[in-house]
């Protein structure tokens, strides 16, 4: 298995910079208040490295070791180990984590595919792209196109029933261009007219893919949305 971790090592300076910034804007639990362009730039550097580390699924305690190494490096402290001599250990660790993640993803893909197949067998429709759906109400008037802006109410949940997003809970509708959302929404909302409702079962490749949208949507997740199309702008 190839090791993709070296890219994260190249970005370690970014994390070291962020780790060193523990000024007045940092809170006790590690949250920060982004009040300047410099704050936002530093936070973004941390995000870049985080994307590389995400596949390792590090726990909070494991991240503390990463941050400790970064802080020691940027502050010029005496290192507890010499990173240059740990390349073999790093590679073995990364390969082990990637192998575990791949096995977990394979199991999850099988479960998600089984869910979609059961949904279709129970009367759901499916498009050529793999989007499964049920039209709950057709609505009236012209259906939106892929470049139209729509106003909707919706609820999104995982296959285990956990709700990860809901305009109903926020108490306000959502408005957005259909070409700026996940592919499952772009395709699905074109199937109903204003006043219509649709249930969408969106496989990962039409949703947030293998990366997901942490922390609420895991990688490879199938998403279920119930959407009411209120208006086409």
CB 195 within 8 A of CB 142: no
Residue among 39, 72, 148, 165 flagged as catalytic = 165
Question: Do 41 and 137 fall within a single domain?
Answer: no
From 85, 105, 133, give the residue that closes a domain: 85
Domain that holds residue 223: 124-232
Whether 128 maps to a domain, the answer reads: yes
Tell me: do 77 and 135 sit in the same domain. no
The token duo for 111 is: 């479960």
Any catalytic annotation for residue 208?
Answer: yes
Structural contact between residues 141 and 193, judged by C-beta atoms closer than 8 angstroms: yes
Question: What angle is formed at CA 225 by the lines to CA 175 and CA 187, rounded to 5 degrees?
Answer: 70
118 domain-assigned: no
Same structural domain, 160 and 225: yes
From residue 1, how far is each of 98, 99, 110 by CA, in Å? 8, 8, 22
**Is 164 assigned a catalytic role?**
yes
Q: What CATH number does the domain containing 208 carry?
A: 3.10.50.40
Asked about 65 being catalytic, the answer comes back as no
Question: What is residue 132's three-state secondary structure?
Answer: strand
- Which listed residue (154, 198, 202, 224) is catalytic? 154
If asked whether residues 129 and 191 sit together in one domain, one would say yes
User: Which of the following is catalytic: 93, 164, 230, 231?
Assistant: 164
Q: Is residue 111 part of a domain?
A: no
Residue 154 catalytic?
yes
Last residue of a domain, one of 29, 55, 85: 85
Inside any domain, residue 93: no
> Alpha-carbon distance 138 to 136, whole Å?
7
| Catalytic option among 133, 198, 208, 224 | 208
First to last CA, the chain: 49
Length of the chain: 233
162 is catalytic: no
Structure tokens at 160: 């285990």
Is 95 part of a structural domain of the chain?
Answer: no
Let me know if residue 106 belongs to a domain: no
> Is this prediction's pTM over 0.75?
no
Measured CA to CA, the distance from residue 214 to residue 118 in angstroms comes to: 27
Burial of 1 by CB count in 10 Å (0-12 exposed, 13-18 middle, 19+ buried)? exposed
Catalytic, out of 39, 182, 230, 231: 182
Number of domains in the chain: 2
Inside any domain, residue 100 = no
Tell whether 77 and 172 lie within a shared domain. no
Choosing from 5, 119, 133, 225, which is the catalytic residue?
225
Q: Is 182 a catalytic residue?
A: yes
Q: What is the residue-level pLDDT of the chain in tens, covering all 233 positions?
A: 333 444 444 444 445 444 454 444 544 445 678 889 898 888 888 888 877 777 777 888 888 888 888 888 888 888 888 888 888 888 888 888 777 766 666 667 788 889 999 999 999 999 999 999 999 999 999 999 999 999 999 999 999 999 999 999 999 999 999 999 999 999 999 999 999 999 999 999 999 988 788 778 988 899 999 999 999 98
Token pair of 101, please? 């993640």
């Amino acid at each position: 298995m190839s090791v993709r971790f070296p890219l994260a090592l190249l970005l370690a300076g970014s994390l070291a910079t962020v780790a060193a910034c523990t000024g007045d804007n940092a809170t006790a639990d590690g949250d920060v208040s982004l009040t300047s362009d410099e704050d936002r730039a530093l936070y973004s550097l941390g995000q870049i490295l985080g994307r590389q580390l995400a596949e390792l699924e590090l726990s909070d305690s494991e991240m503390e070791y990463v941050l400790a190494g970064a802080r020691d490096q940027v502050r010029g402290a005496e290192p507890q180990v010499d990173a240059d001599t740990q390349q073999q250990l790093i590679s073995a660790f990364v390969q082990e984590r990637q192998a575990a993640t791949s096995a977990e993803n394979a199991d999850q893909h099988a479960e998600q595919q089984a869910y979609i197949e059961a949904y279709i067998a129970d009367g759901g429709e499916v498009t050529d792209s793999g989007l499964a759906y049920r039209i709950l109400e057709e609505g009236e008037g012209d259906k939106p196109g892929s470049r139209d802006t729509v106003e909707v109410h919706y609820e999104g949940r995982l296959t285990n029933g956990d709700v990860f997003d809901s305009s109903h809970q926020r108490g306000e509708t959502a408005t957005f261009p259909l070409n700026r959302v996940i592919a499952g929404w772009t395709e699905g909302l074109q199937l109903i007219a204003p006043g219509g409702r649709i249930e969408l079962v969106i496989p990962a490749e039409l949703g947030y893919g293998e990366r997901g949208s942490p922390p609420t949507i895991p990688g490879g997740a199938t998403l279920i949305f119930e959407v009411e199309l209120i208006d086409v702008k």
